[in-house]
């Protein structure tokens, strides 16, 4: 039997549905009812990717060169660093991925169908075209279908359309997979399953969207290329110098290889990874789950947020916020579904509002229910809001003798309670029957509409007869009605959203609302929360400019922007246009329709509470509380991570200058000055003494000024970082360490061009080693701020730096004081005066750093003064 024949059979004899044999044959032919998931790379490929990115390849090359140079222990140490770093990064992302998968699935696990003439519960994956599925309020629809029966069916299709208002579904209407019923019950004939459903076609947009490389990846690739070029160039130059000074070809080659390996900052890769992991941990503590480590820094670079409205900016809890009655206004206090609270207003207004609320409750079936100690909506959210209002006004709930449900064609519902007949519906349907009071309510209705509130009217029939059938009750609407109230309903803003949006504005981050709702409602909410200011952009998706540049120019408005009736393709196009305009874009989403845009943005942000598994798969960040303020907190932590990377990058590069100096002096002097450090000593500095302070700098908490002003567009390895490391801090460390080395040699009787004794050379080398290590202790404190002197930064804000420095000093003592270790490295314990030189290196670095920061501050002040001065002042 074909699927078409099966559908014909069902239409002829609906209650019987398919037979089990026909269903099995269709399942074999059509395949399981499962959504195609985006192709997931196997675990081993993800692990290999962590071991073969550009930085890792550089270190693998360094390990190979070390092995070639006859230093197998060094080669093994570098290889262990790469492997451990790769395993850690893989484990971090794998753990986040598992956590995201546990948040829920888009499709139901099971559903009820009619087969063999009876109701059966089957796995949703076994549903086939031709099945008749039974649906009730709260059920998620397992496949696309057509309603054969509809008892007040209302479906929430926001997962597909972005429209937050539930849609009434009469007989013959289409229901779609992944949507769910908020009200009513019905039967549907399945017309499409699995990859043939509409939700699958929308999810297919994901394949057309490619995640762009993160700013951090681009920066690290650039930095690694620079480091590799410098290391290889210096190695080749020094190898040639060694040959010119009479060394053997083999010796010159090994010396060049050793120098190249030593100049590669082996500790930088694990420092970056652990810093990102620390940022991800902080974000998780703030309810933001990072699925890709690079997204931590990318969040800090964000300059534009495209956000949903419902559930992100608002509570996703419909609430009656005001009741207008001919006697006055009544204002309920409280939000959410808990049926408690007070109502303010005159006694007459409250009494009329109470009757109107009780009447509205009688006309609907949505209710607030208590589950696990919390109140949850059961049914249409707007109807639940009416139930909560009635409870807050003291109505205990009375079942109507007769009720006419709401349908789209009628645009009202009705109920008989005792001797009265009540009507609830669209104001334009109810007010004309209310005479003069209805006309006077029109201005109130317009004011509510301008505020973006949904409004329903409640009226009472003036007729003195009691209807006994639904048709008689509905017919009373044509008679004269008495207007009881207009109920203004809205989804109230989340607490903290206005402050979060103000923080974005202060930080120079543009924000635009992307919603499936109508423009008027969306603009009202955006204005209420402070996203949209006077003159901001409000536009519907079908009116967006066709040119991407014009589109980006339109939305890049500091007064805010709202895009209503937006489609999945619109969101993806907006993300791409803004990126081409120079923005780093964060895009939020929860539905399947959002997945392509989430993948196409620089940072895709999915909802953890209400989002689909398809959206979470496409996202870089999952909000565990669905709150916009959590995005802003994550951006703040991302900015802190960006600043921390600059801190420890400056720290590492400063050390590299000091490590390069001994070889440069040896080469420039034609070998007259012996090399102050050996290859193993340099590696002891990189992997030993420097590692913990660098990691501690990567854990620096955000400062109070992190969100003050736009984030600098400077690269991580910007000119200011490179100048500070290569022209200020590095030369100070190098100068003092080389001066200490030469002073110890000359104090021992050495003269330029002579070969010093082994003991004297070891002590001088140990002194230079100590000077660099102590200089790095001071550098750890200096790098905590790019603007303030080291002694002006509170050490208690980051106690990890103090602990790391203490461990560094212990390691320094071990490297120089343990005979077997000092003999292996090539340096011995300095004299008392040698230690003074080492301390002097730290003091000199702090003073030089302070002078550099003061000079930069003075330059910035002069630039600001010049910018503020008018033409006459100049």
Catalytic position from the list 22, 139, 308, 849:
308
The number of beta carbons lying within 10 Å of the beta carbon of residue 736 is 25
| The 3-state secondary structure of 67-108, one letter per residue | HHCCCHHHHHHHHHHHHHHHHHHHHHHHHHHHHHHCCCCCCC
DSSP assigned state of 542? G
Q: How far is CA 658 from CA 104, 294, 608, 651, 677, in A?
A: 53, 30, 48, 11, 10
The two three-digit tokens of residue 497, written as one number = 């959203």
272, 697 Cβ separation under 8 angstroms: no
Q: Nearest 5 degrees, angle CA 585-CA 586-CA 590?
A: 140
Beta bridge partners of 588: 605
Residue 145 three-state SS: strand
As a whole number of angstroms, the distance between CA 191 and CA 3 comes to 8
Q: What is the spatial distance between Cα 290 and Cα 546, in angstroms, rounded to a whole number?
A: 34
Segments in 530-627 forming alpha helices (H): 548-555, 568-580, 595-600, 613-618
Residues 6+ apart with CB under 8 A from 113: 17, 18, 119, 120, 121, 122, 127, 131, 132, 133, 134
CA 156 to CA 139: how far, in whole Å? 11
Helix (H) or strand (E) holding 259: helix 249-262
What does residue 156 show for φ and ψ, rounded to 5 degrees? -90, 110
The DSSP element (H or E) to which 229 belongs, if any, is helix 215-244
What order of strands is seen across the sheet that includes strand 343-345? 343-345, 328-332, 319-325, 481-490, 454-461, 420-425, 412-417, 402-404
* CA dist 28 → 3, 18, 122, 125, 421 (Å): 12, 15, 16, 12, 55
Q: Given 3-state DSSP classes, what are the helix, strand and coil percentages for the chain, each rounded to the nearest 5? A: 55, 15, 30
- Is residue 144 part of the annotated active site? The answer reads no
Q: Rounded to an integer, what is the distance from CA 507 to the centroid of its chain?
A: 17
Residue with tokens 């207004």, as numbered in its chain: 349
With a CB cutoff of 8 Å and minimum separation 6, the contacts of 226 are 717
Instruction: Give the SS3 label for residue 460.
Output: strand
Per-residue burial over 264-277, b = 16 or more CB atoms within 10 Å of its CB, e = otherwise: bbbbbbbbbbbbbb
CB under 8 Å to 400, separation ≥6 — which residues? 362, 363, 415, 416, 417
Question: How many Cβ atoms are within 10 Å of 371's Cβ, its own excluded?
Answer: 8
Distance CA 736, CA 687 (A): 22
Residues assigned a catalytic role:
308
């Amino acid at each position: 039997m074909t699927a078409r024949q099966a559908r014909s059979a069902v239409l002829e004899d609906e209650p019987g549905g398919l037979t089990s044999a026909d269903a099995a044959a269709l399942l074999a032919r059509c395949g399981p009812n499962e959504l195609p998931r985006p192709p997931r790379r196997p675990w081993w490929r993800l692990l290999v990717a962590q071991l073969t990115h550009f930085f890792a390849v550089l270190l693998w090359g360094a390990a190979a060169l070390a092995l070639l140079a006859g230093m197998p222990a060094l080669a093994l140490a570098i290889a262990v660093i790469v492997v451990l770093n790769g395993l850690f990064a893989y484990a971090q992302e794998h753990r986040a991925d598992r956590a995201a998968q546990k948040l829920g699935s888009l499709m139901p696990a099971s559903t009820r169908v009619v087969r063999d003439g009876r109701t059966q519960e089957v796995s949703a994956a076994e549903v086939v075209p031709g099945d008749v599925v039974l649906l009730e309020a709260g059920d998620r629809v397992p496949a696309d279908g057509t309603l054969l029966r509809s008892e007040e069916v209302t479906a929430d299709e926001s997962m597909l359309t972005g429209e937050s208002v539930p849609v009434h579904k009469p007989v013959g209407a289409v229901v779609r997979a992944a949507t769910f019923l908020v009200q009513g019950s019905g039967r549907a004939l399945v017309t499409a399953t699995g990859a043939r459903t509409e939700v699958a076609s929308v999810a297919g947009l994901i394949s057309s969207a490619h995640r762009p490389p993160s700013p951090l990846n681009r920066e690290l690739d650039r930095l690694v290329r620079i480091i590799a070029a410098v290391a290889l160039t210096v190695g080749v130059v020094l190898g040639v110098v060694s040959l010119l000074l009479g060394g053997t070809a083999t010796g010159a080659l090994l010396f060049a290889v050793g120098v190249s390996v030593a100049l590669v900052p082996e500790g930088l890769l694990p420092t970056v990874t652990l810093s990102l992991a620390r940022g991800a941990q902080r974000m998780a503590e703030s309810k933001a789950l990072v699925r890709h480590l690079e997204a931590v820094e990318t969040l800090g670079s964000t300059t534009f947020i495209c956000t949903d409205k419902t559930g992100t900016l608002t509570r996703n809890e419909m609430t009656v916020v005001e009741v207008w009655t001919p006697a006055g206004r009544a204002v309920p206090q409280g939000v959410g579904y808990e049926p408690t609270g007070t109502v303010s207003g005159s006694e007459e207004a409250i009494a009329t509002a109470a009757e109107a609320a009780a009447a509205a409750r009688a006309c609907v079936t949505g209710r607030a229910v208590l589950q696990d100690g919390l109140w949850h909506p059961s049914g249409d959210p707007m109807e639940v809001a009416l139930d909560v209002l009635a409870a807050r006004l003291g109505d205990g709930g009375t079942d109507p003798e007769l009720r006419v449900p709401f349908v789209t064609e009628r645009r009202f519902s009705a109920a008989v309670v005792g001797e009265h007949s009540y009507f609830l519906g669209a104001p334009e349907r109810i007010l004309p029957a209310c005479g003069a009071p209805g006309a006077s309510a029109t201005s109130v209705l317009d004011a509510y509409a301008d505020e973006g509130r949904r409004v329903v009217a409640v009226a009472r029939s003036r007729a003195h007869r009691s209807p006994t059938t639904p048709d008689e009750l509905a017919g009373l609407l044509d008679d004269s009605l008495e207007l009881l109230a207009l109920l203004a309903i809205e989804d109230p803003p989340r607490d903290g959203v206005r402050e979060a949006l103000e923080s974005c504005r202060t930080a120079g981050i543009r924000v635009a609302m992307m919603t499936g709702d109508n423009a008027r409602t969306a603009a009202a909410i955006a204005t209420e929360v402070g996203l949209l200011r006077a003159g901001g952009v409000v536009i519907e998706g079908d009116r967006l400019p066709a040119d991407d540049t014009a589109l980006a120019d339109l939305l890049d408005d500091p007064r805010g922007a709202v895009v209503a009736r937006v489609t999945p393709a619109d969101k993806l196009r907006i993300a791409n246009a803004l990126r081409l305009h120079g923005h780093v874009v964060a895009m939020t989403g929860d539905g399947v329709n959002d997945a392509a845009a989430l993948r196409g943005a620089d940072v895709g942000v999915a909802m953890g509470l209400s989002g689909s598994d398809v959206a979470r798969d496409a996202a870089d960040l999952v909000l565990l509380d669905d709150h916009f303020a959590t995005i802003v907190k994550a951006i703040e932590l991302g900015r802190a991570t960006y600043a921390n990377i600059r801190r420890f990058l400056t720290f590492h590069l400063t050390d590299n200058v000091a490590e390069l100096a001994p070889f440069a002096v040896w080469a420039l002097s034609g070998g007259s000055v012996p090399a102050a450090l050996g290859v193993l000593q340099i590696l002891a500095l990189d992997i030993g003494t420097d590692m913990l302070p660098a990691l501690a700098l990567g854990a620096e908490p955000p400062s109070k000024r992190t969100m003050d002003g736009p984030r600098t567009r400077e690269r991580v390895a910007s000119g200011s970082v490179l100048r500070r490391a290569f022209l200020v801090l590095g030369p100070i460390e190098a100068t003092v360490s080389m001066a200490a080395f030469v002073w110890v040699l000359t104090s021992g009787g050495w003269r330029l061009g002579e070969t010093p004794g082994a003991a004297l050379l070891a002590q001088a080398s140990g002194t230079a080693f100590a000077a660099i290590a102590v200089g790095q202790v001071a550098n750890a404190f200096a790098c905590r701020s790019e603007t303030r002197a080291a002694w002006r930064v509170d050490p208690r804000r980051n106690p990890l730096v103090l602990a790391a420095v203490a461990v560094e000093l212990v390691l320094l003592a071990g490297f120089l004081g343990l005979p077997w270790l000092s003999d292996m490295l090539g340096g011995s314990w300095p004299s008392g005066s040698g230690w003074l030189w080492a301390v002097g290196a730290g003091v000199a670095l702090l003073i030089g750093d302070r002078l550099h920061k003061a000079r930069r501050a003075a330059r910035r002040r002069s630039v600001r003064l010049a910018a503020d001065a008018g033409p006459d002042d100049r």
